[in-house]
Amino acid sequence: MTPTQPTRLDAAHFDSKARQWDDNPVFRERGLKIAEAVRKAVPLHRQMNALDYGCGTGLLSFPLKDELGAILLADSSRGMLEVVAEKIAAQGVNNMTPVKLDLLSDPPPAQRFDLIATAMTLHHVPDTNHILRIFHDLLQPGGYLCIADLDREDGSFHGPEVDVHHGFDRAELGRRTEQAGFADMQFQTVFSITKERESGSRDYPVFLMTARRVGA
């Protein structure tokens, strides 16, 4: 039998997951832990314009909403954005705006940001160097980039049928981030996801990389 080709998890996949996303306590705790680490690493303030890229249901930026100015929540999945919009309305939040956006195919927003944060999304974006350059161009000089994602793994996190990056080697991602025009790259482990495998349980660490845009 010919092995099936791995496929990307597209917007339709995330649409189908959106309604149940916040029911997962691991996803909720992961968002809280990443937010806590962002809060410690970046001097947040109410004048800061932020972009949460690949926001999903907003599990990263809802915990930070009272410490930031305007927050643009961008995702390519309409289903995720519907859930975000409902949460914003239910909580009466006035500084969060959901937008359907895939920075690899859509025109970038006209505004510039003081902070771009992205959680568990980079491994879904095929061209890492390209998205890093786009993040660079969307940030104000001195602006902060916060990327949370999986450390390099063997592909077992998603399984062989899924076409994603198998996490990231920290040193290599740091070099690529520097090449895209950033400095002050710092890495820390912020969370660990445990999955049960045939061979026993397996931990997949999640890092947070913080960096600053240099130059004008």
Write down the least CB distance from residue 99 to ligand SAM, Å.
10
Write down the least CB distance from residue 6 to ligand SAM, Å.
16
Write down the least CB distance from residue 197 to ligand SAM, Å.
19
Structure tokens at 143: 């602006």
Write down the least CB distance from residue 130 to ligand SAM, Å.
11
At which residue do the structure tokens 């995330």 appear? 14
> How many angstroms separate the Cα of 153 from the Cα of each of 110, 122, 157, 164?
36, 14, 7, 11
Count, residues in the chain = 216
Residue pair 176/7 in contact (Cβ under 8 Å)? The answer is no
| CB-side neighbour CA atoms (13 Å) of 80 | 25
- DSSP run (H or E) holding 128: helix 128-138
Q: Which residue is nearest to ligand SAM (CB)?
A: 56
Nearer to ligand SAM, 14 or 207 (CB): 14
Residues within the interface to ligand SAM (CB under 6 A): 11, 14, 27, 31, 54-56, 59-60, 75-77, 80, 102, 104, 119-121, 124-125
Taking alpha carbons only, the member of 34, 75, 26, 27 closest to residue 209 is: 34
Nearer to ligand SAM, 123 or 213 (CB): 123
Write down the least CB distance from residue 95 to ligand SAM, Å.
18
Taking alpha carbons only, the member of 178, 183, 173 closest to residue 214 is: 183
Nearer to ligand SAM, 147 or 198 (CB): 147
Nearer to ligand SAM, 54 or 181 (CB): 54
Nearer to ligand SAM, 60 or 185 (CB): 60
